Chains A and B, each alone.
Chain A
Amino acid sequence: MALSHAPLRRLAPQLVILAAVLLLNLAVFPDFFRVEFQNGRLFGGIIDVLNRGAPTAILAIGMTLVIGTRGIDLSVGAVMAIAGACAAKIVTDGHGWGTALAGALLAGGLCGIWNGVLVAWLRIQPIVATLVLMVAGRGIAQLVTEGTILTFLNEGLIRLGSGTILGLPVPVAIWIALGAAMAWGVRRSALGLLIESIGINAAAARLAGINARGLLVCVYLVSGLCAALAGVIVAADIKGADANNAGLWMELDAILAVVIGGNSLLGGRFSIIASLLGALIIQSVNSAILLSGMPPEFNLVIKAVLILAILVIQSPRIGHWIYILRASGGDPAPGRAPRGGAHAKETAR
């Protein structure tokens, strides 16, 4: 299906911001867009952004669905550590990479189901329910690795993190394929709509005959699986499972990606593609900071200022002002209010 006019309008703010941040990269590093083919792989600044953005992007896919149900999953960073540790443990015990990947996904899936049951059955608030695993998960991962960085030399597993498919780094292929499949899947079926209905009003959704509990568990399961995949990629990338540091604070980047993607933390309408663009925006900001050569003391300040600017530009009120300015300026009818404004009204009701 070709991208029709309406989705493009939805994604316009993210695309404009991404373009702006990429131009910032170009300003600090003139060769940013030059892509070379060397050593059997594509090599260049833009490829790095796609590649390094992979874990955040994959997490953002699951996180978008969770946030669509008015939930949040704080445990994804810790689940990454668990999954990476399991994969490394399985290959160092002499099994193949397929088994390792399956084992890691199983571990991630169990974590997801745990979160889902706490939220859907025990009705614990998502932020608290997933906090449990966020805190405990890293300890579990350390138990698996026995406190060391568990290194491995399994070629198959390493390929998941630093191999290439037709010159493209494998993580890039994975997140693009997964993102496209999920975005297509939730929109070509009623699934997306059902998830949104839970986010807008869970009770009404249940009364309308939606299996809200089952769907909630599934959503957290998907988030756990995405986290496991991201964890395997991160471990494979450095050929070792680092339980202390793998996925540390990644949950915040994933949530930020969803928010930059223009999705409301209050649930309801969501767009996976927009979240993926959000993940790319975050990674582009990171890339600009690294390429600029500024002293590291400025890293976090620069990042905070850029992110703040991005969020302010996207805020519903600013969106509304722009709309009013355009309308009063005699601009040919802007159609309807920008999505942010419309959405604010929707949730206020």
Chain B
Amino acid sequence: MTLKATLLAGAVALAPMAAAADMTIGFSQIGSESGWRAAETTVTRQQAESRGIELKFADAQQKQENQIKALRGFIAQGVDGILLAPVVATGWDDVLEEAKEADIPVILMDRMVDADKSLYLTAVTSDLVHEGRVAGEWLAEEMAGEPCRIVELQGTTGSSPAIDRKTGFEQGIADHDNLEIVRSQTGDFTRAQGKVVMESFLKAEGGENICALYAHNDDMAVGAIQAIKEAGLTPGEDIRIVAIDAVPDAHLAIANGEMNATIELTPNMAGPALDALEAYLASGTEPEKWIQTESRLYTGADDNMAVYEEKKSLGY
């Protein structure tokens, strides 16, 4: 996929908001299985409110049938547009067809579906491979040619974020022979496993032989930080730590100097989605079929304490 084109499309987010009075949008959310998802819901509500859009919210509690019901409900109510965070990729053709016949644009958020591209207006997602690549490139720049033995905490084995973030990171460090991944094991995206697996890395490699940790999400990194401390090392200095997601606790860890960098998986998918929808409804502008959200890099140079305070209230 062409990265530049999509980045350009993402820049639409910065365009001034169109005034949209009396607009009603339906939002079918997967559920609230993670802090990030809760934050996404909060941000979507905030985005709708700041634009004066009435948001009809439906929590599907992880069930596709609930989402399909919610979508049919939205269509019956004749909303102006639908935001859909699909729980699974397949089985959407019929209901998307119904929305299309009713002339209601559907925007996918955060995940894709296996359906014909003409059935939805656009999809707003992050690029998981790109996130990994940003992490790898950051580390390559940080090490500036110094040799570095990296340990990697993978996400749940076989899950697409784990596969893509691993691939991306490997791409990011591919041109740097000084960087080498010496151990890679799954920490199941959880704090507890992140800590356990980091303990084993520290034993097996020897803490002084590890120069950096790359974790597929912040929770595992936060767990690993504790393991590093208990091993008598200083996280952030003895072992550099880069992870993905930018949850509030990661900002706190960076502010405390215990972590070096995190790449944001923004909970603000609704911003670009509503921009595209408003432009489409106002002037019929067809957006790109894929809007990539920004994968922003946060390091110690940013005011992480301020971001932490800001994000804390989003429901992470």
Interface residues of A (CB under 8 A from B): 29, 31, 38-39, 41, 43-45, 48, 52, 147-149, 151, 162, 234, 237-240, 242, 244-246, 287, 290-291, 293, 295-297, 299
Contact = CB atoms under 8 A, between A and B. Distances in A.
Q: Nearest 3 CB-CB pairs, A to B?
A: A39-B232, A290-B200, A296-B186
Contact of A296 (B32, B185, B232, B315): B185
Interface in B180-233: 183-186, 188, 190-192, 195-197, 199-200, 203-204, 219, 222-223, 226, 230-232
A295 B223 CA distance: 21
Contacts of B34: 244
Contacts of A41: 230
Given A43-B231, A44-B203, A240-B191, 18 more contacts: A52-B196, A52-B199, A148-B38, A149-B219, A149-B249, A234-B192, A237-B226, A238-B191, A238-B192, A242-B190, A244-B33, A290-B197, A290-B200, A291-B200, A293-B183, A296-B184, A296-B185, A299-B186
B128 to A, nearest CB: 18
Contacts of B92: none
B204 A242 contact: no
A238 B204 contact: no
Contacts of B183: 293
B316 interface: yes
B73 interface: no
A297 B157 CA distance: 6
B288 to A, nearest CB: 33
Nearest to A239: B226
Contacts of A39: 230-232
Nearest to A48: B199
Given A296-B185, A296-B186, A148 B35 contact: yes
A237 B198 CA distance: 14
A237 B203 contact: no
B315 A31 contact: no
B200 A162 contact: no
A211 to B, nearest CB: 39
15 contacts: A45-B203, A48-B200, A52-B199, A149-B219, A237-B195, A238-B192, A238-B223, A240-B191, A245-B192, A246-B192, A287-B200, A290-B196, A293-B204, A296-B185, A297-B158
Given A39-B231, A239-B226, A149 B203 contact: no
Given A162-B230, A242-B192, A151 B249 contact: yes
A334 to B, nearest CB: 40
Given A48-B200, A238-B223, A239-B226, A290 B190 contact: no
Given A44-B203, A246-B192, A296-B157, A290 B185 contact: yes
Contacts of A246: 192
A294 to B, nearest CB: 8
Nearest to A169: B230
Interface in B30-47: 32-35, 38
Interface string B288-316: 00000000000000000000000000011
A295 B249 CA distance: 29
B204 A291 contact: yes
Nearest to B233: A39
Given A290-B200, A296-B184, A299-B157, A147 B35 contact: yes
B260 interface: no
Contacts of B219: 149, 242
B262 interface: no
Given A238-B223, A290-B200, A296-B154, A245 B249 contact: no
Contacts of B226: 162, 237-239
A295 B219 CA distance: 21
A149 B199 CA distance: 21
A245 B189 CA distance: 10
A143 to B, nearest CB: 12
Contacts of B249: 149, 151
Interface string B237-254: 000000000000100000
Contacts of A31: 203
Contacts of A295: 184
A240 B157 CA distance: 24
A38 B196 contact: no
B230 A147 contact: no
A265 B249 CA distance: 43
Contacts of A240: 191
Interface string B151-194: 00010011000000000000000000000000111101011100
B258 to A, nearest CB: 13
A151 B225 CA distance: 15
Nearest to A296: B186
A245 B249 CA distance: 17
Nearest to B232: A39
Nearest to B158: A297
Contacts of A43: 231-232
A147 B203 contact: no
Contacts of A237: 192, 195, 226
B34 to A, nearest CB: 7
Contacts of B316: 148
A38 B35 CA distance: 36
A238 B195 contact: yes
A242 B185 contact: no
A106 B185 CA distance: 37
A174 B249 CA distance: 30
Contacts of A244: 33-34
A247 to B, nearest CB: 9
Nearest to B31: A147
A48 B186 contact: no
Contacts of A239: 226
A295 B230 CA distance: 26
Nearest to B157: A296
Contacts of B188: 245
Contacts of A147: 32, 35, 38, 315
B203 A29 contact: yes
